[in-house]
Amino acid sequence: MKSWLLLLFFLVGCNDAITTFEKIPEVKIKKIPVASKAEAKKVISNHLSFLTLLFQQSVDPYFNTQKWPSECLLANKIGELKESDQGLQFISRLYLGPDASPGHCSNDPAEVPGYVIYLYCQDEPFVYEIKYHHSALAPELKVNLCD
């Protein structure tokens, strides 16, 4: 069932995609109010900077030890901001903690990364922050989610 709902997300528009994700209990969606596309770009860029710094600063400054194993650092894939006429999207594949927060790495080799998505569709008053743990579907997201 979840795989079908996620597949639907890739085939439909922004409002339908958000509605689809809202039906899946494991998905965390946060609406960040914005007044314009320029403000949405700033919000998403700030999140991109945060994630980049989080993993760049992977050495504990007090103890000079790695916070995460190198395999974990390599498995976390921070996306890039993509802009189109329809809106903005930023998709990263990251290990997430139990509360869906990034910066988590388990020693469990069976654990796989989830997704963190920031999505702004033209003429909407929100940037959507969508976080979810790995699903059986989990394809690479190469489509414009606002279409």
Instruction: Identify whether 54 is part of a domain.
Output: yes
> Bigger pLDDT: 115 or 8?
115
**Given a cut of 60, is residue 147 above it in pLDDT?**
no
Instruction: Please give the single-letter amino acid code of residue 129.
Output: E
pLDDT digits (tens, 9 = 90+) for 83-130: 888 889 888 888 887 778 887 776 676 677 888 889 998 888 999 998
CA distances from residue 140 to 36, 43, 50, 101, 128 in whole angstroms, order as listed: 28, 23, 22, 20, 19
**Given a cut of 70, is residue 137 above it in pLDDT?**
no
pLDDT of res. 9:
40
CA distances from residue 9 to 122, 124, 129, 144 in whole angstroms, order as listed: 17, 18, 15, 11
CA distances from residue 61 to 56, 65, 66, 115 in whole angstroms, order as listed: 12, 8, 9, 28
pLDDT digits (tens, 9 = 90+) for 26-67: 788 899 999 999 999 999 999 999 988 887 777 777 887 887
Residue 21 DSSP one-character state: H
pLDDT of res. 2:
35
Locate the DSSP E strands across the chain.
Answer: 28-33, 81-84, 87-94, 114-121, 126-132
Q: pLDDT band for 142, please (50, 70, 90 cuts).
A: very low
Instruction: Identify whether 31 is part of a domain.
Output: yes
pTM for the structure as a whole: 0.76
pLDDT of res. 18:
67
pLDDT of res. 143:
46
Range of the domain at 118: 2-132
Instruction: Identify whether 10 is part of a domain.
Output: yes
Instruction: Identify whether 139 is part of a domain.
Output: no
Q: pLDDT band for 145, please (50, 70, 90 cuts).
A: low
Residue 133 DSSP one-character state: -
Instruction: Identify whether 13 is part of a domain.
Output: yes
Tell me how many domains the chain contains: 1
Instruction: Identify whether 84 is part of a domain.
Output: yes
Instruction: Identify whether 27 is part of a domain.
Output: yes
Which of the residue ranges 7-11, 110-114, 116-120, 141-145 has the most confident prediction, judged by mean pLDDT? 116-120
